Amino acid sequence: MEKEKSTYLTISKPSVGEIYKEKSSKFIGYAFPVISGNEIKEAINKVKKEHSKARHWCYAWQLGIDKIAYRANDDGEPNNSAGKPIYGQILSKELTNILIVVVRYYGGTKLGVGGLISAYKLAANYSLEKAKIIEKIVKIELDIVFEYKDINIVMRLINKHNIEIIDKQMHLNCNYKIGVDKSIYQEVINQINTLRSIKINKNE
């Protein structure tokens, strides 16, 4: 059985590749770090708005670490001539939580399937050449609820394991949303379970 990953590779921020030209057609690649379908939709719409006069907006994306979701879209180009070569660049660099959109301005001359595959592959690669690839730690989100009197105990645990506080609500009780590194998740859970006054909920 394959071991679950505790880190993954993605890009740090959006990037735009150099313009690639082939027989008067112009290709521009955009790469975005994304973590949800909504972010993907917003990024694609942003590119379409910026390049409203383009002929095609082809893309590929991948989300997830252990459970992978992905899609490759040819947006009217011949089957597997655009989305698949774009997605191939994501796979070649072992990236996830990423979207690549390649804009094509048609120059009046058909490139053929082989020419399109090469053009979309290069444009996608150019967008990644301009990006900074980073390794991120997989975190598991938890909600913990505790009384004010236990806040020092909780903060010692958080500081000891360098746990991220994503959100906190202070009402009758304290409600913290925390991000725990996957590699130490079970250890943290075991320690919290010894503190009977702290309730814990895992966010799926």
Domains, the chain, ranges and CATH?
A: 7-135 (3.30.230.30), 138-202 (3.30.70.260)
Residue 78 burial (CB count, 10 A): 13
How far is Cα 101 from Cα 74, in angstroms, rounded to an integer? 10
Please write the tens of the pLDDT for every residue from 149-165. 899 999 999 999 999 99
Share of the chain above pLDDT 90, in %: 74
Q: Residue range 188-198: average pLDDT? A: 87
Residue type, 185: Y
Please write the tens of the pLDDT for every residue from 70-106. 999 999 999 999 999 999 999 999 999 999 999 999 9
Number of H helices, E strands in the chain: 5, 12
